[in-house]
Amino acid sequence: MSERILSASAALAEALHEEMTRDETVFILGEDLTAHAGIFGQFKGIPEAFPGRIIDTPISETCIAGCGVGAALTGMRPIVDFHFSDFVTCGMDELCNQAAKIRYMFGGQVNVPLVVWCPDGAGLRAAAQHSQSLEAWFVHTPGLKVVIPSEPADVKGLIKSAIRDDDPVMFFQHKRLFAREGPVPEDSEFLIPLGRAAVKREGKDVSLLCYGSGFFICMEAAQALAREEIEAEVVDLRTLKPLDMETVASSIRKTNRAVVVHEACLTGGFGSELAARIQEELFDELDAPILRVGARDVPIPFSPGLEDFVLPKSDSVIRAAKRVCYR
């Protein structure tokens, strides 16, 4: 099956087209969707192709999330657009207390096949309230799945699996990555199963475990490290929950060293969880402490200079990788 070069936005739009064509219960719900096909152009062509199945809502995330949960309960497969992941706090009860727990509370009589689509991340000078990476909150909520694609092909393969999944899925897509291009399979059945990580660069010296924007930082770092004869293996986790510990483990068994990289701030971030799992399950495989690279523990600053200072960069990854390689 052939591939084309598409942006992440285009890959998402293609996947949505395919899934909405395939299944008439799939529909999109959110603010300001029809006039501009989403603020990042991510729903391009959909308002025209599927009139009535992409719905503009009032500015109330509580309402949007509630509608999504209700629709999912009645047999639809809604995709809820949260506009900015930062607004998710207004739908917290609907997502964490309802969507996450309903199947459990009703003894499995109902499913909540809901996709919560959340553009997240910093770097757009959008300040503290529009720049967060909040995945750890949802990883900490049993009942939710958490998916974070990096490359355009992952966006397509993962959103399709998320839509077809019968449980609520938090789908975080980094705002700065919408325009990033990459090869995307044309196949309308191109699915990436949830809970499967990908080794995107092989190496023997250190495992860089990452997802979302962290993946690109790691690839850049890996290239620089290769010039210093450190071969980094880049593992794109893609799904944080369920977590593909098997791929993580086989990589660490090879390299004996791990650096966890994410854009979210360090304390209580997913890196802490992953580092804990690794030391629990792979203690005897480790030749060095597990290091974490993440944003500093502050609100993301509006000032460009300060924002750049706060966010992790490939240099931070290079430093950490060298440290665990004792170089």
Partner 1 sequence: MAIEIQVPKLGLTMEEATLVEWKFGPGERVRAEQIVLVLETDKVTYEMPSPGEGLLHPVVAAGSTIKVAQVVGYLAADEEELRALAARFPPAEGEAQTPGLPEASRPEREAEQASRHQQKRVLASPLARAMARDHGLDLARIQGSGPGGRIIKADILKALESKPAPESAQPRTTAAGAGALLSVSEEIPITGIRKVIFRNMHLSLSSQAQLTLHTEANAAAFLDLRARMNKTGAPKVSFNAIMVKIVAQALKQHPRINASVEGDAIKVWGQIHIGVAVDLGRGLIVPKVRYADTKSVREISAELEKLITAAQSNTLGLDDLTMGTFTITNLGAWDIDHFTPIVNHPESAILGVGRIVHKPAVEREAVVVQPRMALSLSFDHRIIDGAPGAAFLKTIKDLVEDPLLML
Regarding beta strands 198-201 and 232-236, do their DSSP bridges make them parallel or antiparallel, or are they unpaired?
antiparallel
Nearer to partner 1, 189 or 280 (CB): 280
Mark the segment that binds partner 1 (CB under 8 A) among 22-30, 148-156, 213-221, 279-287.
279-287
Q: How many CB atoms neighbour CB 12 within 10 A?
A: 28
Coil/strand/helix, residue 127 = coil
Nearer to partner 1, 289 or 299 (CB): 289
262 is catalytic: no
Minimal distance, residue 323 CB to partner 1, in Å: 9
Taking CB under 8 A as the criterion, the residue among 92, 285, 296, 302 binding partner 1 is: 285
Q: Which two tokens stand for residue 15?
A: 């996947």
- Of the candidates 14, 18, 19, 61, the residue annotated as catalytic is 61
Mark the segment that binds partner 1 (CB under 8 A) among 7-15, 125-133, 237-245, 285-293.
285-293
**Residue (of 154, 121, 114, 95) closest to 40 by Cα position:** 121
130 is catalytic: yes
Taking CB under 8 A as the criterion, the residue among 125, 286, 313, 322 binding partner 1 is: 286
Minimal distance, residue 258 CB to partner 1, in Å: 12
- Of the candidates 83, 130, 174, 262, the residue annotated as catalytic is 130
Q: What angle do CA 54, 150, 68 make, to 5 degrees?
A: 30
Query: Tokens 């580092």 appear where?
Result: 275
Q: Which two tokens stand for residue 248?
A: 């993580």
Nearer to partner 1, 145 or 292 (CB): 292
Q: Is 80 exposed, middle or buried (0-12, 13-18, 19+ CB in 10 A)?
A: buried
Taking CB under 8 A as the criterion, the residue among 227, 280, 284, 305 binding partner 1 is: 284
CB-based contact 204:35 (threshold 8 Å): no
- 287 is a contact residue toward partner 1 (CB under 8 A): yes
CB-based contact 208:251 (threshold 8 Å): no
Minimal distance, residue 259 CB to partner 1, in Å: 15
Minimal distance, residue 256 CB to partner 1, in Å: 5
**Residue (of 293, 294, 285, 295) closest to 323 by Cα position:** 293
- 181 is a contact residue toward partner 1 (CB under 8 A): no
The alpha-carbon radius of gyration of the chain (Å, integer) is 19
Binding-site size for partner 1 (CB under 8 A) equals 8
Stretch 205-264 residues interacting with partner 1 (CB under 8 A): 256
Q: How many CB atoms neighbour CB 164 within 10 A?
A: 17
Nearer to partner 1, 126 or 288 (CB): 288
Minimal distance, residue 229 CB to partner 1, in Å: 14
CA distance 112 to 163: 11
Nearer to partner 1, 205 or 307 (CB): 205
What's the Cα-to-Cα distance from 246 to each of 83, 253, 282, rounded to whole Å?
Answer: 34, 10, 11
Q: Which residues are catalytic?
A: 61, 130
Residues contributing to the site for partner 1 (CB under 8 A): 256, 283-288, 326
